[in-house]
Each structure stands twice: as C-alpha cells, then as structure tokens.
Amino acid sequence: MTSLPEPGARKLGLVIDLDTCVGCHACVISCKGWNTENYGAPLSDQDPYGADPSGTFLNRVHTYEVEPAEGAAQLVHFPKSCLHCEDAPCVTVCPTGASFKRADDGIVLVNEADCIGCGLCAWACPYGAREMDAAEGVMKKCTLCIDRIYNDNLPEVDRVPACVRTCPAGARHFGDLGDPDSDVSRLVAERGGFDLMPEQGTKPVNKYLPPRARDRLEEVDVLAPWLEPVAGEAGGFIAWLDRALEKL
C-alpha cells in the first residue's frame, strides 16, 4: 500500500463557483481535449457514435434543480473532478504504489506504468472521481494539468488547468489553497467556500462556492389590466365603426 507524505505548505487546487457556472460543459471538452493529446495515455471513447456510447472523462458536470427554503428555485450546475484530498483514500489503498500524492504541491497523480487496473482506488474514492480507461486498462484522473502549470514554454496566462483557462463564465479558479493570502483562499473566505462531503474525512483541497439565493417575484395577475374597460364610452373612429356595424 502507498503512504501519504507529510502535508506540505503548498496545496494547489481549484475553487469552483456554483453561482457562476452556467453548465456549458466547456471545461469538460477542454479537459478531454488536452488530456487526450498530452499527459499520459489518451482518454479513449467506446462506440462514440453508436447506440450505447461511453468514454473516459476526468471532469464531468452534473445539473440539479434545487428549491431552497428561502428564495426561488434554481438550477445548480455542479462540476466534479478529483479533489486532490489531503487524506486521499485512493492513494493508501493502491497495492502497487501507482497512485501517489506529491509532497511539494499536494497534487494526486497516477503512475500509469505501475497501474494494474484493479480499480481499488475507484472503490475507495467517495466522490467517484476516478475512471478506468477501457482501451488502456489503467485508471485515469484529474492531474490539475500538471503538464501545463509547470510548463515554462507556455505563456504565463496559460499555466493553469485547461478547464480554468477555458471557462467562459469565470467560474473556475486555480491557486495555492495552502496560502491564506492567495486569491483563491481569499475567495473561499469571502464567499463561505465549503468542502464536498466533509463527513468523509478526506479533507479535499478543492473548494466550492455556494450559489447565491435568487429573488422570488410576487405573483401578479397578468390578465387583470386587460379585463378593465379602457374608457366608458367609445369615441372617434371606433364610435363611428360601432354605429356602422350596428346598422348591418
């Protein structure tokens, strides 16, 4: 089994704003594209144009209709990928050491050369964030685009995960959540960011920002104004037309 390293000062991760996410799936497409062409084994698809398509994705967006106790009902788009937990059960359960957590930045990765495809890490992950690639027979997961964030050949603006760079709504943020003065840490503090399923005790690094309550409009009878007479007696052309019609 694999041991977890001592927690380091740096904790790279994502902050996802559920109030801003519009569910466009741009993050899903950019993640699929980047990770198919670059880091590790490609993310394969099986029968993509057939009756029962399936494939491997490192990031998925789930949509729920929520009716809070106060405020109007709303749709909440919930992106989900690996949360790079501090106490990652997917790492400690791995029998070959293929799953590991980096000590210097806290990113959880899979050494695909050592992965035997047993699926134990997928069973151990309470978030369903790991997927077996059917073509390669190895476990795949979000890498925080480690091949982008440390790539000096890319412009600085591109040294963020592909999903963050692509999000048109600015709902995804990347940074060091171990630094209380970082932009992402301040955002979590200001907006009341929360852990996903904290009762699992995995201490996920990624955080979510809650959706703001929507205003509820008072019910208005939209037909009422049209049911009231416009004037007591008709005049002008309308009056002439009314008299002419009465003679027919």
pLDDT of res. 93: 96
pLDDT of res. 238: 67
| DSSP H stretches of helix in 11-50 | 26-37
* Mean pLDDT of all residues belonging to the chain: 90
Domain boundaries, the chain: 12-209
Question: 60-66 and 207-209: which strand pairing?
Answer: unpaired
Type and span of the H or E element at 94: none
Q: What is the token pair recorded at 212?
A: 């703001």
- The larger pLDDT score, comparing residue 243 to residue 139, is at 139
Q: Is the pLDDT of residue 140 over 90?
A: yes
The three-point CA angle 123-200-63 to 5° equals 75
Give yes or no for a contact between 96 and 127, defined as CB atoms under 8 angstroms apart: no
The tokens 């190895």 sit on which residue? Answer: 138
Confidence bin at 2 (pLDDT 50/70/90): confident
Average pLDDT score over residue span 112-129: 95
pLDDT of res. 109: 96
pLDDT of res. 42: 85
Confidence bin at 105 (pLDDT 50/70/90): very high
Q: What is the DSSP annotation of 118-178?
A: --HHHHH-TT---EEETTTTEEE---TTHHHHT-TTS-GGG-S-HHHHH-TT--EEEEETT
Give yes or no for a contact between 31 and 159, defined as CB atoms under 8 angstroms apart: no
pLDDT of res. 229: 61
pLDDT of res. 162: 96
Q: Is the pLDDT of residue 155 over 90?
A: yes
The DSSP code for 199 is G
Q: Which residues pair with 75 in a beta bridge?
A: 65
Q: What CATH number matches the domain at 12-209, 3.30.930.10, 3.30.70.20, 3.40.50.300, 3.40.50.880?
A: 3.30.70.20
Percent of the chain with pLDDT over 90: 75
